[in-house]
């Protein structure tokens, strides 16, 4: 009987954890943006999701810069430049 109680408690905890993960993943991608960056003659466009517009934009810029810059200094310089284009997308 004691094992049954522990099993039920573990099952409820697992269901709660899975529900929390689902809720967090659904609320994370409320904003979707495509950003194109131009840095030192190289160009790249990336799409990102974020819970806020600012987080989505920052993620897309960082993703785009990651393939057209090398090293920390260049990555920071690329991320500090204005995007060539920003396109807000609907849905996920």
pLDDT band at 22 (very low <50, low <70, confident <90, very high): low
pLDDT given for residue 47 in this prediction: 95
Q: Cα 23 to chain center, whole Å?
A: 15
Q: Which two tokens stand for residue 49?
A: 């999701």
Integer Cα distance of 28 and 58 in angstroms = 14
Question: Which residue's structure tokens are 């003659």?
Answer: 41
Using CA atoms, how far apart are residues 92 and 60, in angstroms rounded to an integer? Answer: 14
Strand partners for 87: 34
Spatial separation of the C-alpha atoms in residues 12 and 84, rounded to whole Å: 49
What pLDDT digit, counting tens, does each position of 47-90 carry? 999 889 999 999 999 999 999 998 899 999 999 999 999 999 98
Given a cut of 70, is residue 44 above it in pLDDT? yes
């Amino acid at each position: 009987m004691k094992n049954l109680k522990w099993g039920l408690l573990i099952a409820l905890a697992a269901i709660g954890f899975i529900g929390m993960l689902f809720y967090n993943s659904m609320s994370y991608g409320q904003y979707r943006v495509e950003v194109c960056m131009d840095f030192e003659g190289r160009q790249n466009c990336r799409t990102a999701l974020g819970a806020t517009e600012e987080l989505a934009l920052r993620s897309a810029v960082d993703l785009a810069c990651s393939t057209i810059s090398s090293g920390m200094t260049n990555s920071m310089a690329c991320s500090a430049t204005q995007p060539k284009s920003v396109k807000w997308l609907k849905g996920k």
